[in-house]
Structure 1
């Protein structure tokens, strides 16, 4: 009995000493606002133009924290469960529950048992100091002293609600989870305000021992419910414990609207990056694309991407890098990925030919088989429908995406100049030499991105003026540069907007026609690996790609059936309440009543540049072909076989469109008349072959090598 009295006296003395330390050496507490501001989620957040969260990326892998939750955003059932289980007299004490402290000392010194006496406020104090709980020795005494001092300081400067809110957000719950937002989202798959009674009891029962088994947690929750006379069946609690604590699936509280863009822009925990994206339009674009990919599932189409741009500001309004529910490569960014362009480059080819005054919208070009000799062999382009149209106007050739007229046009302007023009327009990945691409560049053999497509087509929409696209607001806005003449841009856009000009290939009713003014072009790459549909209205440019990121072919899906339905649906929704007005013709563009010889095409009013229009009416005659060297091809390398007698090795030299008076010169020396085929015996060396008229003017020139 004497020893017990000594122990009790010692415990009381220690308690008095502890109180004295607390009173004589008060602690200074940080402000609640500072604590909340310093709380950093493990995620970074992507925001739309109005500040709405559209995506998030986890950056900190050491701890799982979501955003700080105000007390009002937490289920009342969970708050009550935490207070009952951790600090029943929370609203009655001033930071230290002296009754619990005395009870804990009694149990420890007289009964040899240990139980906690820390209040919620004291636990917040420890969390703010980030100090581990120490059970014995001088360190434990020091920790407890500092904990009590901080708790008193918190009670003096914080409200009870602030203390409780900090407790729920700072406390570790299970594993890497810190804060009620992470615990609720990962364990229950919902925001804290949505926790049910059984879920609240289970998660609150985790706090004394976060790593306990589901069975032990369920038992603790059942005991607490009985002690509080809560009307709930323990079977329901056990089921909730098994469901919550057996899964632990990582779930994001943020919507996953732009994951590819989020991974590109987000770098540090807690970062909040505002973009030019419109959340509502982003949801619409994703939904439309997902629906179309679902319809094309049986045609082996898994992936797609969309980019929507404001023509005036160059703001990117929607950025859907991938939306295929069946995608096996959904982390690929389809906006930035490089794919073959198909026929989407043709508008810029005709623009270059019109700028150089080689062609106009009414010029007639041949849609007939053609064999072009190249350094790697003969190049024989074919039309998509394998049905040759004969002589067609440039308007008809572009509208119906005819391949052979495009290749003939590239022969006129040259591969290198066209390659250079595409690079200027923003196709920054078209960097190889003209020989590398060859004449197939007219049909889109080069690889481009959806981002580059949208930028180039916006240039047409802006009358030839170009500037970089941007997805971040408030950054440096580059000044627009005039890359295309305004008159040519207007005429090309008008051809792309003409429903009548595309009926030969696409029919009267197709997915390129809209109820408002719009200009559009489709493209399909080799073996149907890529579908494109890119176009613009007076307000927006919309670029769509569908295909497979792995590169396997689709089953009979073209740009007009694959990507075009998405383009039209998105464009139609953009203009549901907003008009799209046709552009005003530039001052140097005039409309001329035009007739075609032999009624090749129906009479129409056609746009011409003023320097090409001489009368109010025009008649398009069947013009003679432009004189050119047909063989050998420019840059050809010819190998002489030493095992074949020289007399049997001849190189045919031929021309197209040449007259009797024209001559061919080889390395400056006259070779033959140009209107006939000449068989030339090759000798090793480098050669320049020129076609000249009767006055000696050079009309065409090719160089080749004999080895």
Structure 2
């Protein structure tokens, strides 16, 4: 009689629901496919793997929920699947989304106020997990929500397979606290993969579905009931103690027990790649190289702990592919600012920009590797006052070849070379090499030769990679699905080869560093160090035939180090990493481009040892010919381009003068606004000419005696002056001789 009544109630409920669906089409939802639901799933923990598939980094993305990767149904323990169906939906494989018999039983129980099993099927619960507006909140669902849930459940059953419904449910259902999905549940509470859950663990897991926040005793009681229904009452022995232990783990946010804990090998690159990742990322990193570089950096900084240094970074790039093989952003626990990424942080470059400056001078055929440069005191007028560069050791070497000046990292020859190249031209070249400097060349001025610009370790290392590739520049890759790099010829191949040869020359660097130092390797390498002002930054960047390695050490706070240079700070790490990379293979010296000429040279008064030197076409000296002094290209040194001059109203106009100066020209003519200037009462003038300033915008030109323009610029004078006396001209012609 009771069974017949329940069947009648079920038939009535089915007819009523059908009628509601017919008259309320607005409650219907467009049911997504299984693939769409799976694709939209986002793990709260993004995983990064190395190029070989080794897990190297995990990052928590969602602080409110803990979801791990989607788990296929075949990877879920059969014990859990059986416990779920036994507890939540016994007729799961028979019904078509709604178990009308269970609905009738629930209605009958409500009628007689007796407790019955819930009528919501797994498929109906899944509808509430897919659509947030159907999710059960603190209050009961409305009639419209219930009807929608029935409609969606039936639609799911028509379009999805039973195994897909079960798989989606197990990945989307909440268990306890922040834990969502069977993968997070298994890893956090049981410290194992979902495939390894046993019968009692499965019962505890399913018991949490109905009462996620219940006390351990209640969860244990519910789990024991499930075990008894499955014919395993013996599993109830000691179940409460196990339940209390397991549920205690749910309160420890941010940690995953057991095998899921990933080594945090690359936290900085991990944050960069995983912050918006919806699926695992396969990086270009090599886990073994990453470990070695990190360990090497920590060993070196531990040895320098008494020198006020705690931070560092290392980058390794494959020359051919542009793949980043190591990205060590900090020294980890040794650092007080371990979250700062030293690979991308902007720091002053020091002497590490000099190779690109000399490459440009060689490329333009203004200098050669054998050209002699003057390492002697120099004062350069700038719009901000006199610029007086100094060498690192505050000594002067006199005439030195470009090879020696670069190899030994002499400052004054580099500044003299920048006077010839000009800061703006050099700035533009650095931009094409990916430095993305924030200011203009004129902003940095002549100090740009000594690395006054702020750059990142990544951009600097990749620019050296362009030297390794004989002038071909490309971006880098950090993920295996990034597009392959595209090269562009940014620097001259021959000039890049010559600069690389200089950087590999032990003899060239001997005057500053000696023959044996941390820059010397058992394989062919080209390397340059740099130290910024007040010893705040140490750099060592260099390349072999296969890899380019960059190292920075310093303090993230910007505090200066104590008596630490690039050779003693960053270079030991660079050498260790480079030797590790070539532990099983050598590094071949790059082949000389066919158009580069190799010729012997000798120097006057044995200034430097005779040697074979490399030259670009039309720049070589003959055998035994003395290499002549490298002359600074003719250029105006004062005023500077764009300079703004203000007339002082408190000084009589006749006592105010603006002195024009130039370098590199033996004879020439000044022209101001198209008119030649003449020094009254002088037969000739030296490189300087005193001009009485006149308000307005002016164009200053320096010509040789044949009328060829050597240099030109524009500047402006502001202030009020009376007009010059009638018939008096301030513009005439003069020739001059260089010093």
Quickly name the TM-score band, shorter chain normalised: 0.7 to 0.9
Q: Compared with structure 1, are the counterparts of its residues 399 and 192 closer, same or farther at alpha carbon in structure 2 (3 Å cutoff)? A: farther
Contact 2:172 2:181 in 1 (8 A): yes
- What displacement does 1:229 show? 2.1
Aligned partner of residue 622 in structure 2, secondary structure? coil
Contact 1:655 1:675 in 2 (8 A): no
- What displacement does 1:173 show? 0.6
CA distance in 1, matches of 2:713, 2:143: 95
Does 1:561 find its partner at 2:561? no
- What displacement does 1:439 show? 0.7
Q: Compared with structure 1, are the counterparts of its residues 64 and 674 closer, same or farther at alpha carbon in structure 2 (3 Å cutoff)? A: farther
Contact 2:177 2:250 in 1 (8 A): no
Does 1:379 find its partner at 2:391? no
Q: Compared with structure 1, are the counterparts of its residues 103 and 375 closer, same or farther at alpha carbon in structure 2 (3 Å cutoff)? A: closer
Equivalent of residue 692 in structure 2, options 683, 686, 700: 683
Contact 2:661 2:687 in 1 (8 A): yes
Q: What is aligned with 1:25?
A: none
Q: Compared with structure 1, are the counterparts of its residues 43 and 230 closer, same or farther at alpha carbon in structure 2 (3 Å cutoff)? A: closer
CA distance in 1, matches of 2:683, 2:271: 65
1:608-648 Cα shifts (integer Å, max 9, x gaps): 33423343334346x49659789755456666656567898
Contact 2:224 2:236 in 1 (8 A): no
CA distance in 2, matches of 1:310, 1:186: 38
Does 1:591 find its partner at 2:598? yes
Q: What is aligned with 1:544?
A: 551
Does 1:10 find its partner at 2:5? yes
Equivalent of residue 368 in structure 1, options 376, 380, 390: 376
Q: What is aligned with 1:174?
A: 176
Q: What is aligned with 1:229?
A: 234
Equivalent of residue 669 in structure 1, options 659, 678, 683: 678
Equivalent of residue 209 in structure 1, options 208, 211, 214: 211
Contact 1:592 1:618 in 2 (8 A): no
Match runs of 1:103-502 below 5 Å: 112-116=114-118, 158=162, 165-186=167-188, 191-192=193-194, 203-214=205-216, 216-217=218-219, 228-230=233-235, 233=238, 236-237=241-242, 240-241=245-246, 243-249=248-254, 260-261=268-269, 264=272, 270-271=278-279, 276-278=284-286, 281-289=289-297, 291-292=299-300, 299-321=307-329, 324-325=332-333, 332-429=340-437, 431-434=439-442, 436-471=443-478, 480-502=487-509
Does 1:515 find its partner at 2:526? no
Q: What is aligned with 1:527?
A: 534
Contact 1:51 1:274 in 2 (8 A): yes
- What displacement does 1:350 show? 0.8
RMSD in angstroms over aligned alpha carbons? 5.2
- What displacement does 1:593 show? 3.0
- What displacement does 1:209 show? 0.3
CA distance in 2, matches of 1:51, 1:593: 52
- What displacement does 1:216 show? 4.2
Aligned partner of residue 352 in structure 2, secondary structure? helix
Contact 1:187 1:249 in 2 (8 A): no
CA distance in 1, matches of 2:585, 2:110: 77
Note the residue ranges of structure 1 that are not aligned, 5 or more in a row: 23-28
**Farther-moved stretch of structure 1 (438-447 vs 547-556):** 547-556
Q: Compared with structure 1, are the counterparts of its residues 44 and 674 closer, same or farther at alpha carbon in structure 2 (3 Å cutoff)? A: farther
Aligned partner of residue 584 in structure 1, secondary structure? coil
Q: Compared with structure 1, are the counterparts of its residues 406 and 200 closer, same or farther at alpha carbon in structure 2 (3 Å cutoff)? A: farther
Note the residue ranges of structure 2 that are not aligned, 5 or more in a row: 18-30, 720-739
**Farther-moved stretch of structure 1 (540-549 vs 491-500):** 540-549
Contact 1:654 1:674 in 2 (8 A): no
- What displacement does 1:180 show? 1.2
1:5-52 Cα shifts (integer Å, max 9, x gaps): 7x6763465468889999xxxxxx999778756655456665655666
CA distance in 2, matches of 1:287, 1:96: 60
Match runs of 1:612-631 below 5 Å: 612-620=619-627, 623=629
Aligned partner of residue 68 in structure 1, secondary structure? coil
- What displacement does 1:294 show? 5.2
CA distance in 2, matches of 1:55, 1:486: 39
CA distance in 2, matches of 1:438, 1:577: 45
CA distance in 1, matches of 2:153, 2:708: 101
Aligned partner of residue 361 in structure 2, secondary structure? helix
Q: Compared with structure 1, are the counterparts of its residues 45 and 349 closer, same or farther at alpha carbon in structure 2 (3 Å cutoff)? A: same
Aligned partner of residue 523 in structure 1, secondary structure? strand
Aligned partner of residue 542 in structure 2, secondary structure? strand
Q: What is aligned with 1:26?
A: none
1:110-166 Cα shifts (integer Å, max 9, x gaps): 673344477878866876788667989988997998899799989x9646xx77655
1:79-130 Cα shifts (integer Å, max 9, x gaps): 7876786689999999999999999789766673344477878866876788
CA distance in 1, matches of 2:555, 2:67: 36
Q: Compared with structure 1, are the counterparts of its residues 170 and 683 closer, same or farther at alpha carbon in structure 2 (3 Å cutoff)? A: closer
Equivalent of residue 589 in structure 2, options 579, 582, 585: 582
1:382-437 Cα shifts (integer Å, max 9, x gaps): 22233333332211211121111111111222222222222233333255142x11
Contact 1:531 1:559 in 2 (8 A): yes
Length-normalised TM-score, structure 2: 0.75
Contact 1:21 1:145 in 2 (8 A): no
CA distance in 2, matches of 1:474, 1:147: 37
**Farther-moved stretch of structure 1 (256-265 vs 368-377):** 256-265
Q: Compared with structure 1, are the counterparts of its residues 413 and 104 closer, same or farther at alpha carbon in structure 2 (3 Å cutoff)? A: closer
CA distance in 1, matches of 2:620, 2:647: 51
CA distance in 1, matches of 2:91, 2:374: 92
Contact 2:98 2:150 in 1 (8 A): no
Aligned partner of residue 626 in structure 2, secondary structure? strand
Aligned partner of residue 391 in structure 1, secondary structure? strand
CA distance in 1, matches of 2:431, 2:222: 69
1:307-328 Cα shifts (integer Å, max 9, x gaps): 4333223344444555634556
Q: Compared with structure 1, are the counterparts of its residues 640 and 192 closer, same or farther at alpha carbon in structure 2 (3 Å cutoff)? A: same
